[in-house]
Structure 1
């Protein structure tokens, strides 16, 4: 089994945080979104994981020079080969997958690094593929599927009129990765675009018309990381899952001076807490200092200095400094609000 991870998007809706860090590399409770994604998938696969192929954007889109090494390390830690490809130009979901054409072969899971999820990965041996979907209130913002007798009959990209409320969350299984590669190549060679891009939904529709049987996958939890508030909520859900699993995410070397931590929380290494109350549902990255503050339900990155604050539903980037009376803030890397 292989995992193909398109992650070239920078996440403009999550700015200012993604001005310096692409969204898939945003840290949630101590791990990047993409690391949590592939770890969660690897835990539920029935087959041996052979390779993880990551498709990143160019350095001009903010991807750090060491991104490739970090991604290969993530794959190796899961016992798999790591491969990294670059999508130089954003030409759609199908094009992103095709950038990893050398890794497309045999059974594979395609997982876009936009969201985190908890899902049932029990696969129908008779199906040619599975597409994980979740019921949503506003389907017009998503690709959706229509069902009949438990089989997917139609794929519709961002419908303007209601056809279904089952949104495709960005996780797919293909029994035949070679066939997927050939179909995307046909799309690109014949310049078949929708809204100016090569869309995966068109590939799925073509495969279906050729007789491929796709079934829906069951999603238990879908955690969005598109904007600030949903990302903070995702941090809350991840911390809850970690607590339920019995995992303690507070580093042993945290310095507590007249301070209290209310679980669940993630507190990284070399963090100092003075006269503060932290939690529940707070993540604070390594080398940070918090003084005279109360913080709940917030996502704080590394090397941050916070003083005299009362924060709720806040998201603060790396190397930021905050001193003030604001509450629900969103501060990017290297920002000072004092």
Structure 2
């Protein structure tokens, strides 16, 4: 079975972070976002993966290489214009010879997709989709069910028709059928070729479109708040592990990677990445991820993400619900108290 990971989008909702890096390379607990889908594919028995790239695609190529580090063989397809998910899928179809699974590169599923891939391959389905109930269906493609069957898909409905979001994982039996379906599509009101329209082609022709509900949580990471929510969910499933140096105090479910130094206090669940540093006067509270080389010299952090080599030295100030970009610097020249929320891009400098 072939795997196809889509990573061509610009990540406009994640600006300013995506001005300097594609969103798929933003690290979450030491692993680039795009690595989660690829690892899930490998766990499901997929050995060959295509990655559709576009915006800053060369950086994704440099990061993933040939895929051997993740246990797969990776090849790349270029989407020069962002014309939708169905268009991205169409670019790889000439190279796909059998059943395949599409996984959006900014989606993360708890528990992976192994069980769902097995159900698709063992069943007699032409298409297989995953569904999840959501409070705001207008942000997603949604499925309408009737008598246990998928009868209609609607992309980002303006009027509510269902609360069942179509998760960013799609499985197809025959690439030639998918090519025929794509050739019949027209751009939507958004100017894109929608994957919901692609799958609707199969529904309208009476093909077997199977579905299942995701196990546990599913996260479509598209905003700074989404990054933080992904950190919370990933930390909820992280196992305590200490491989770095702890001179201070570590309490609860904490990951301290090799090369990290903790001189202050860390309360789990929390992640301290390789080469990261927690100073003697610093406190890392629950649901914080210090990515590789990040430094919290003083102050506190709660429910926050400090990206690679970010530096914080803020005395008695406590950062909450914050995302600090790569190599950003936040310093205070005064003895500040209380809380602050910061969303700052890579290479930024903030003096308080």
Q: Higher relative contact order by CA 8 Å / sep ≥ 6: 1 or 2? A: 1
Deviations 1:275-317 (A, max 9, x none): 1111321111222321121111111111111001411111011
1:70 to 2:67 alignment: no
Q: 1:69 to 1:230 in 2, by over 3 A?
A: closer
**Distance in 2 between the 1:256 and 1:138 partners?**
40
1:233 aligns with 2:229: yes
- Consecutive unaligned residues of structure 2, counting only runs of 5 or more, are 243-252
Superposed CA offset, 1:218-276 (max 9, x none): 1121123211122101111111112389996311322233x012122221222222111
Matched length: 325
* 1:99–1:244 CA distance, 2 compared to 1 (3 A): farther
Partners in 2 of 1:225 and 1:33 — Cα distance? 9
TM superposition score normalised by structure 2:
0.86
Question: Structure 1 residues 245 and 84 mapped into 2: Cα distance closer, same or farther (>3 Å)?
Answer: farther
Secondary structure at 2:152 match in 1: strand
CA shift for structure 1 position 318: 0.4
**What's the CA shift string for 1:101-130, capped at 9, x where partnerless?**
233331111111222112652515122221
Structure 1 position 115 matched with structure 2 position 107: yes
Quick one: distance in 1 between partners of 2:126 and 2:240?
A: 34
1:51 aligns with 2:48: yes
Q: Within 1, Cα distance between the matches of 2:64 and 2:183?
A: 26
4+ aligned runs moved over 3 Å, structure 1: 244-249
Q: TM-score, normalised by structure 1?
A: 0.89
For 1:202, which of 197, 203, 206 is the aligned residue?
Answer: 197
Distance in 2, matches of 1:206 and 1:69, equals: 37
Q: 2:262 aligns to what?
A: 256
Task: Kindly indicate whether the alpha-carbon contact (under 8 Å) linking 2:254 and 2:266 is maintained by their aligned counterparts in 1.
Answer: no
Q: Does residue 130 of the first structure (1) align with residue 128 of the second (2)?
A: yes
Give distance in 1, aligned partners of 2:107 and 2:181.
26
Q: Measure how far apart 1:31 and its partner are.
A: 0.7
Instruction: Give the CA deviation at 1:162.
Output: 2.3
Contact 1:52 1:83 in 2 (8 A): yes
